[in-house]
A and B are shown apart, each in its own frame.
Chain A
Amino acid sequence: MSAIAKQSKAAGKKRSKSQETWRRFKKNTRAVVGLGIVAVLVLCAVLAPILAPYGPNEQNPRNRLQGPSAEHWFGTDELGRDILSRIIYGARISMSVGLIAICISLIGGVALGAIAGYYGGTADNIIMRCMDVLLSIPTILLNISIVAALGSGLQNVMIAIGVSSIPGYCRIVRASILSLRDQDFVEASRAAGASDFFLITRHILPNCMAPLIVQATLRIGAAILSCASMSFLGLGIVPPTAEWGSMLSTGRDFLRDAPHVCIFPGLAIMAAVFSMNLVGDGLRDALDPKLKD
């Protein structure tokens, strides 16, 4: 028996890093639940035409503002469109806005923060003062001005939302790097012949993943909502298009008589944010070798 145990242990040792991370991720029930919800949402987005019982823009004025029923599980909105179908189609836009905007701000914020934190001095001053300028402008105003400059449309909204949340990531990364930059292991790697780029990407950034993952997963919800408010202002997604945020904002007018018009898109946004958060937390723990087993 001990031979078998030994063998399985030896096999366990040979697992690659990603397998090892997955193994630890699986142990975390909440994270797996989160991943399940994310998977469902992604599936909705991909398979929308197959899954949705009605078309997203199919109007039926006779059935307007109906509550949930067997025909329309989530009820209908003010134009008699099926809310479930609109949520399923909306997943396409909302999820992609959330993810792409976060990617833009992550890439920009991490790169700028890393340069500012690692090199310090003048580079730090220039970058951080620019970030301060961005931070001093209210987010919505900044979004509006970027979209106004680039022209409206989904793509530009994503860029606007991404750019306006760069400062948050930039500050997080800079702060982490300031504390990591002078660590002995960084100096040791430099003494072993590593270049600055190598040091930052291989040694410093992996050590500041935890706050980044948490920030990124939390900001996905904020990005979806920003996109909604942009749509509400007429700068983002044009009305007939199904999008969770804009469904929420049009539903506001009927909140007293037909709350379900708001509740279901709201729940969808909540599910997206919540599940991303769970996945983020799980990922953070699975990637931290000190919390191993």
Chain B
Amino acid sequence: MPTSIELTPEIMREIIMDHYSSPRHKSNPDQEGYQSTHSSSVNCIDDIDVFLKINANGVVEDARWNGVACAISTASSDILCDLLIGKTKAEAENVIAQYEHMIHEEEYDASVLDEALAFMNTSKQAARIHCATIGWDAAEKILEGENDGK
């Protein structure tokens, strides 16, 4: 695996529990300038909004999310925010694309995914793949120009 540390199941579990029990980016924006999209599913309970603040240079200045979410969707959305902050739109799109490849068991570039690698085994619980991608899908839509304007 092309990462500096060996990702054991124990470490992956710790990463997920850490972001689930104390998410860093779970809040609504407290200022103007965010674009948002909503993401939910008829197949599960998760129902969230993702907020991105993209500045004039096309750099993601801040990323947040909020809503009702299970452990997997909470941790994956929170890690997504960690990964997107400071990235250009093109870099952000690439991170999301590589993550999608990983979730769907295709070839992917692990070097850009950092803690998001904790979700590499999500496909073991097929019914929960959506939970691991709900925030990522929402962020992708914002990068493609969608905005609910919440």
A, B: real partners: no
